[in-house]
């Protein structure tokens, strides 16, 4: 029964059961899940004569023994040119400057930290920002004051840094 091999002997029959079966006539299904064959927190389902594993995200294989390389399977999983690093059962995106989130999908609003000094106006852009400086100021963060002097010949005001 169930692909077992039975031989009649003087003392009765003797059966050699196929994998997954047990008992005098190989009629009883073995619950393979008792031995926890599924790895990495996968769930095990006993089936007739066997079992199956329902793998956790990031794992594959009959017993969920193989790590899925998400970086190789989806080259653009990390957005905006960010680097992907495969780790056991998952991946990590190393976001380039100006982006955050699991897949580097969120533009950071650099203006929230008020980087523009001296009454400069901050304009957020994708992955960056720029400052519109108030009169008499310059620089990436409006941190440099323009010096003023008067031209001795014309009397005009001269601007410089």
Predicted pLDDT of residue 30: 84
CATH fit for domain 110-160, picks 2.40.30.10, 2.160.10.10, 2.10.25.10, 3.40.1620.10: 2.10.25.10
Whose CA is closest to 58, among 43, 45, 49, 69? 69
Task: Look at residue 80 in the predicted model and tell me its pLDDT.
Answer: 95
The 10s digit of each residue's pLDDT in 95-140 is 999 999 999 999 999 999 999 999 999 999 988 999 999 999 999 9
Q: What is the pLDDT of residue 27?
A: 86
Give me the pLDDT at residue 21, please: 84
Q: Are 87 and 68 in contact (CB under 8 A)?
A: no
Residues, the chain: 161
pLDDT at residue 58, as a whole number? 96
Furthest-apart CA pair in the chain: how many Å?
130
Question: What percent of the chain has pLDDT above 70?
Answer: 90
The CATH 2.10.25.10 domain(s) of the chain lie at 69-107, 110-160
Q: What is the pTM (predicted TM-score) of this model?
A: 0.62
pLDDT at 63 exceeding the cut of 90: yes
Average pLDDT over residues 42-56: 94
- pLDDT attached to residue 89: 95
Taking alpha carbons only, the member of 140, 139, 137 closest to residue 148 is: 137
Region 78-103 average pLDDT: 96
Residue range 69-107, CATH number: 2.10.25.10
Burial class (CB in 10 A: 0-12, 13-18, 19+), 142: buried
Name the nearest CA neighbour of 50 among 20, 80, 24: 20
Per-residue pLDDT reduced to its tens digit, 17-42: 888 888 877 888 889 898 999 999 99
């Amino acid at each position: 029964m169930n692909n077992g091999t039975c031989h009649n002997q003087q003392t009765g029959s003797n059966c050699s059961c196929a994998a997954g079966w047990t008992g005098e006539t190989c009629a009883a299904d073995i619950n393979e899940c008792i031995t926890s064959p599924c790895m990495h927190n996968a769930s095990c389902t006993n089936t007739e004569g066997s079992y199956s594993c329902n793998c956790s995200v990031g794992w594959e294989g009959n017993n969920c023994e193989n790590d899925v390389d998400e970086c190789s399977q989806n080259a653009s999983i990390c957005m905006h040119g960010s680097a992907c690093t495969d780790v056991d059962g998952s991946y990590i995106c190393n976001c380039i400057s100006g982006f955050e989130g699991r897949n580097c999908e969120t533009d950071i609003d650099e203006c929230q930290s008020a980087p523009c000094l001296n009454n400069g106006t901050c304009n957020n852009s994708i992955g960056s920002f720029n400052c519109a400086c108030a009169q008499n100021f310059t620089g990436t963060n409006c941190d440099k004051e323009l010096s003023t002097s008067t031209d001795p010949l014309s009397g005009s005001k001269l601007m410089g840094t």
